[in-house]
Each structure stands twice: as C-alpha cells, then as structure tokens.
Structure 1
Amino acid sequence: MVKRARTLASLAAELGVSRTTVSNAYNHPDQLSAETRERILRAAAARGYPGPDPMARSLRTRRVGSLGVLLTEHLSYAFEDAASVDFLAGLAEATSGTESALTLIPAGPSEDDASALVGRAVIDGVVVYSVAEGDPHLAAAQARQVPLVVCDQPKGLELPFVGIDDRAAIRPAARALVDAGHTRIGILAIRLHRERHDGFITDIDDAELHVQRERVRGAREEFAAAGLDDIPVVTRHINDHDTCLSAARELLTTHPELTAVLCTTDSMALGVLDFAHEQGIDVPGELSVTGFDGIRTALLLGLSTVIQPNKAKGEAAGRMLLQLIDAHLADAPTTAPRVILETTYHPGRTVSAPRAPHTP
C-alpha cells in the first residue's frame, strides 16, 4: 500500500526535497523545472495530497486571495444588466494573473442586516459599486478596515474613487435634442433616492444617488440654457425591462405632446423604443430618444447615446484596489486616489427634427 502523505512537509520528506520546492510546484511553477514540478504533482496525486493549505498560506502572507464586490442589487442584476456585466468583466481583467478571485457580495436593495452580510465576506479589500450616500452597506464596508474603492457613487467622500463626470457626460445628449429643434422633452431616470419612488418627481436636490441626480441636473441645465424649463421627469426604483417599459408608458401617455425623451440609462431608452413600437410611434420621425451607457444592444439598435467606458471602469477600480492592498500589507502610507474616465456621445439614428406627435 502506498503511504499517503497528507501534508506538505511529509510529501517533501518522502521526495527528498525542501518544503519550499513542494510549495513552488503549486504557487510558483516558474521557479522549478518542468520535470521536477511534474514529479512532485504526480507523487502528490498518488498520495492524495491536495496541495498547500490555503488558510495556512493566507495566515503567512496576510492575504486571502479575494477581492470583494459589494452590489446593492439582487445578484441576478449583476448578470442581467449589461453595464454591470461590462464592469465585472473589467474587474476580472484587472485581477487576471494576480492569484486574486472575485467575491460578489449581493447586498440587494434592502438595507436590513447590512453589517452582518458585509462582515462575513472573506476578502482582502472591496469595491463598493454604486451605492447611495449614507447607505449602511458602505458604512459596514468601511468598518471592515480593509482597502476600499468606491465606484460611481457616492461622490464627494474622501475615499478612493473611480467614475465619470455624469453631469458633464449627459450634456451632449441633451444638446443634440435641443439642436434638432425639440422643445417638448421628457426625462426618464432610474432611482434617485434610497426610499422607493416610482413616478413623476420634481425636486432632486436632496437625492442620495448622485449618478442619476447629476445626469438629470446636467440635462436640465442644458435645456434651461435653451429656455426650456418645464421638463417632466419620471423615475423607477428598479432598472429592469418591465419597469423601464412602464416608465415610458407613464411619461408618454401622461404627456402625449412630447417629441423627445432623454433617458439616463440605455435600459430606459430601450423601454421607450419598445413602447413606441407597441404604439406604432415612429422613431425618430415622431419621437426622438437618447440613452446613456453605450451597451452593446443599444449600439446595435442605433440608439443615440452617451458611451461610458464600463469595462475600463472595472479595470481601473480593480487595479486601484490591488495597489491599495499591497500598500496596506506593507504598512505604507496612502492617499485617496481619484480616477475620472472620459465619455463620448454616439449620435446614432434615434434623433431627428421634431414632427407632429403621434395620436393613438
């Protein structure tokens, strides 16, 4: 019967090599010859040795080998929302080859028991992805005292940050509608407040969700500069297809005189396109539409939209967090780095001069 070596030390003793050599076969294969590594792995497999204990390694290196991603949406949202998918792909790209995995922490829109959920995550650091000002999940993440990067929002905190200038980014879309001659324009936005509100909204100055607040502000400022002040705004708390479609229906049935809709997400704009198709409204002949994000589906449909670099945003957040973790483990002083990425306006095919509105 073959003796079963169940520890790194016993396997090293049986093979007549050092424990470092066995460890390198798993963790630093470039430091061994192919023949030596193959001999160690073959002997380990024959003896039922699974490899170095990851917990022991984490205690030795002070790393657990995982970056947390705090999502205050249901987990399914991360895989259904195209902008979030691109962001996570960028994070994955940043961690490629670093021996760090990603741990998704799906806090969901509920704020109940935030500290327990975030506190249980076994992570070296965390990216907080787009949460409201004052959100308890952010406070719980800060309480962990691990390196942390905020992506998108909240803005204005003295924390490492990656995002865009949302207020400036949306202006070209608003300007395109004004330049095309539109004077009857509505806005669709996803949630502005932590508390649920679905429907028309007027005051946004106290909105805790800064991304949407700044996009609506930027659009309103551009419209005001053209003398357009009475701009209806409809919001939805959840950003999925059904709610985006219902938002478009609410806005356009309440205000059938509108000839253009500016949307703060591409998903909202796709809801408008679907509603227009249902009602036989020609886009852009009878209704012009703009979006925001630059997701693949929107671009394939020719949507006029603002393109933000969602994948590059994820890469930047991942690289920043890894650098902060290295500095933290080295007890090196750090500042709060801030990265603002550029956006571009894609003219698309959904904006034209206003014509007579459709009458159902």
Structure 2
Amino acid sequence: MSRSPHPRRRATLASLASELNVSRTTISNAYNRPDQLSTELRDRILQAAKRLGYPGPDPVARSLRTRKAGAVGLVIAEPLTYSFSDPAALEFVAGLAQTCEEAGQGLLLVAAGPGRSLADGASSVLSAGVDGFVVYAAAGDDPYLKAVLDRRLPTVVIDQPREVPGASWIGIDDYAAMRELAEHVLGLGHREIAVLTMRLGDRDGEVALVDEDRLRASTFHTQADRIAGVRDAMAAAGLDPAGLTLVEALRQGPTAGGAAAELALRSNPRLTALLCTADALALSAMDYLRGHGIYVPGQMTVTGFDGVPEALRRGLTTVAQPTVAKGRRAGELLHHPPRSGEPVIETLPVELIRGRTSGPPAG
C-alpha cells in the first residue's frame, strides 16, 4: 500500500508544549511573536517542532466562530517588489485581487523570497493567517512549497511546478506557444538565432551563456519548455539546435534584457533574431539595440512572451497569455472550490501576436 505524500500531523500545540515543559503561549510566540523569546528558546522550540512533525499553530483556529481567516496567501519566491514591478506578475496579482475583493476576502503577500533565512521564510508560510494559498511560478525544488503543503489548505499552483500532489494547477502550454513563435521567425528566413531567457535556477552574476548541463539542471520548467520549443522548431527546419545562442538573465531589472542582448551579440555577431522568454527582457533588449544604432526589425528581429500592455503598445511580436485570467481562475478555485474536492488542472489558451518587431533578416 502506497504512503500518502502528506503524513498525518504527529503533534499538536499542546503536546509540543508538554514535550518541552513550556506553556502553549510560549509555543505560539515562537511562531507569531519571536521577539518575546530568547533566540536559544525559539530555536529549541522550532527544532522540536520539526522533529515531531508539528507545522505551527493553525491561524484559522483564531476565529472560533467562522473557522476562517478571511484571506488568501500569495507565495512568490522573489523579492516582494517583484509583484509590483514585473509587468506579468503585476497583471496576475490584479486578477487575483479582483476575485478576493468580489468575495470580501483579503490578499496576503507571504514574504518567502531572497533576503530571508529558510527558517524565517518557512515560518512566514506556516504562520500566515489565510484560508488557502496561491503559489506563483515557483522553482521545482522550492523549499517553501513543502511548507505550503504542510498547512493542508486549498492550494493553487500557477505555471510551475506541475503535478503537485493535492494542489490545483493553472498554466499554459509553454512549449507549444514558443515553438509557434519560433516557427514564425524561422519562416521569415532567420537562421542565426539567440534565446534570451529568464533565470533557469540559482546562480551568481547578472547574465551568462547557457550550456547543456545548465539547461538540463533547470528548476524553472516554464523557461526550459520555451527553450525546447525553439530548439525543436529549429530541428524541424533543418537547423542544428546546438547552434542556438542561449543567454540567461540571472537578475530581474530594467536593464537585464539589454545585458543579455549584449552578451548574445558578443558571442555570435551574426545574430539576426533575439527570441526572449519574457516581454520585459525583449523591451530592455530593444532599448539596448536602439542605443547602439541597431534597428528593429531592419537589422534585428526581437520577440517577447507574455503580451503585457507596454509590449503591445510598442508593437512587439509576442505570445499573449491570459495573465489576468490566471489570477482570476486561481481566486475562483479557492473561493468556490469544485464540489468533488479534487484538484483542477487547467491549460489556458494563448495567442501569437505578429507585431512590428519581426521581419526578414537584412540582405
């Protein structure tokens, strides 16, 4: 008989307090008011909790009448500012917030990104007063996903990772979408192509060339799938996928795409097309090219992915995905779960936008 991926809780607040010979208030403070305890005592409590399988106090129990916290928790394993600066993430949060407002619920951004220790990040997840979680584009080995699952609350994963036991999933077919985009660029006659990708995993630096080992080790499956779509389109067109120039932008920021474009062109000066796995990279790359007297699309084709408003205003050739709809569907699944209680898997449609930034190669 197979074992459940979510073991039954082996300890309660009361049993943990008894085990350590402290009050239940002291246990609660270790999670919710750590400033009230010495570092030594808090560490002893958290270590014992981990050993006994106790994930932390249940915030829902704070309301004895409704058993509801009245909020949805959004876990993004990036700096909190990412939710308000990345165009695609901002649209997603807007869609999720709409459903929360309609349902009279709050939206809590759970601080579990860089700059925090693993223990503090997990504690933020375990102590969050929410009725369910939305996990946005987490790495396949994201350590906070386990903390989310330990809460045993309704959970919706957006984009990645896929097939999380007990969690619903909403995303798109990244491989097919990027392959269609690559086929469009190849159909224009381009043969010297680069892909500028968002980060594939943890790594120091700003930008870097990607080799096969790095690509195989990627923990961000959406990016790896988009790259695979380009490589397979090249193979179908009779080109060697090994000839693809691949550059990874390791940091978010307004100049990331420009830095990646610079490295790509330095690595292969014959390039005639830059395929970017995010509109933010493409827009930054276009700014870099314009600043260096390289015309788009006359001398360089540039494409993006997401379909954010600024990209559409600038006529970017891109894949438009329903980012706001992703947020709305995530909220709807948490506020109005299916009667069956079974996880929902939804693949949303996308649209290839043939904008003004793609054209035949010069000459």
Same fold, TM-score > 0.5, yes or no: yes
Q: How far, CA to CA, are the matches of 2:204 and 2:149 in structure 1?
A: 25
2:163 is equivalent to residue 156 of structure 1: yes
1:138 corresponds to: 145
2:297 is equivalent to residue 288 of structure 1: no
Of the candidates 180, 195, 211, which is equivalent to residue 202 of structure 1? 211
1:68 corresponds to: 73
Secondary structure, counterpart of 2:264 in structure 1: helix
1:89 corresponds to: 94
2:10 corresponds to: none
The alpha carbon displacement at 1:185 in A equals: 0.5
Q: How many residues align?
A: 296
340-349 or 90-99, which deviates more: 90-99
Identity of aligned residues (%): 38
Larger Rg: 1
1:176 corresponds to: 184
Q: How far, CA to CA, are the matches of 2:130 and 2:262 in structure 1?
A: 43
Cα RMSD after superposing both structures: 1.8
- TM alignment of 1:218-237, pairs within 5 A: 218-228=229-239, 229=241, 230-237=243-250
- TM alignment of 1:299-314, pairs within 5 A: 299-314=312-327
2:321 is equivalent to residue 336 of structure 1: no
Amino acid at match of 1:239: Q
Secondary structure, counterpart of 1:170 in structure 2: helix
The alpha carbon displacement at 1:115 in A equals: 1.4
Of the candidates 277, 283, 292, which is equivalent to residue 270 of structure 1? 283
Secondary structure, counterpart of 1:240 in structure 2: coil
Report if the CA contact (8 A) 1:194-1:209 is conserved: no
2:255 is equivalent to residue 246 of structure 1: no
2:274 corresponds to: 261
1:186 corresponds to: 194
1:112 corresponds to: 118
Alpha-carbon spacing, 1:106–1:115, altered in 2? closer, same or farther (3 Å): closer
Amino acid at match of 1:295: V
2:226 corresponds to: 215
The alpha carbon displacement at 1:333 in A equals: 5.7
2:352 is equivalent to residue 345 of structure 1: yes
CA deviation profile, 1:304-357 (whole Å, cap 9, x unmatched)? 000000000000111112234xx7xxxx7621111110000000001111015x
Secondary structure, counterpart of 1:102 in structure 2: strand
CA deviation profile, 1:204-229 (whole Å, cap 9, x unmatched)? 23311111111111111111111222
The alpha carbon displacement at 1:156 in A equals: 3.0
Secondary structure, counterpart of 1:168 in structure 2: helix
Amino acid at match of 1:210: H
Amino acid at match of 1:245: G
Secondary structure, counterpart of 2:287 in structure 1: helix
2:28 corresponds to: none
Q: How far, CA to CA, are the matches of 1:314 and 1:333 in structure 2?
A: 22
Q: How far, CA to CA, are the matches of 1:342 and 1:82 in structure 2?
A: 19
Amino acid at match of 2:320: I
Report if the CA contact (8 A) 1:191-1:236 is conserved: yes
276-285 or 188-197, which deviates more: 188-197
2:328 is equivalent to residue 315 of structure 1: yes
Q: How far, CA to CA, are the matches of 1:138 and 1:109 in structure 2?
A: 15
2:64 corresponds to: 59
Amino acid at match of 1:220: R
Report if the CA contact (8 A) 1:58-1:65 is conserved: no
Q: How far, CA to CA, are the matches of 1:302 and 1:270 in structure 2?
A: 10
Amino acid at match of 2:137: S
Amino acid at match of 2:345: R
CA deviation profile, 1:114-169 (whole Å, cap 9, x unmatched)? 31121121111100011011211111111111111101100133321011111111
The alpha carbon displacement at 1:56 in A equals: 9.6
304-313 or 226-235, which deviates more: 226-235
Unaligned runs of 5+ in 2: 1-59
CA deviation profile, 1:273-310 (whole Å, cap 9, x unmatched)? 01111110011011001100001111111100000000
Report if the CA contact (8 A) 1:245-1:271 is conserved: yes
1:3 corresponds to: none
The alpha carbon displacement at 1:72 in A equals: 0.8
Secondary structure, counterpart of 1:104 in structure 2: strand
Report if the CA contact (8 A) 2:112-2:122 is conserved: no
Alpha-carbon spacing, 1:185–1:56, altered in 2? closer, same or farther (3 Å): closer
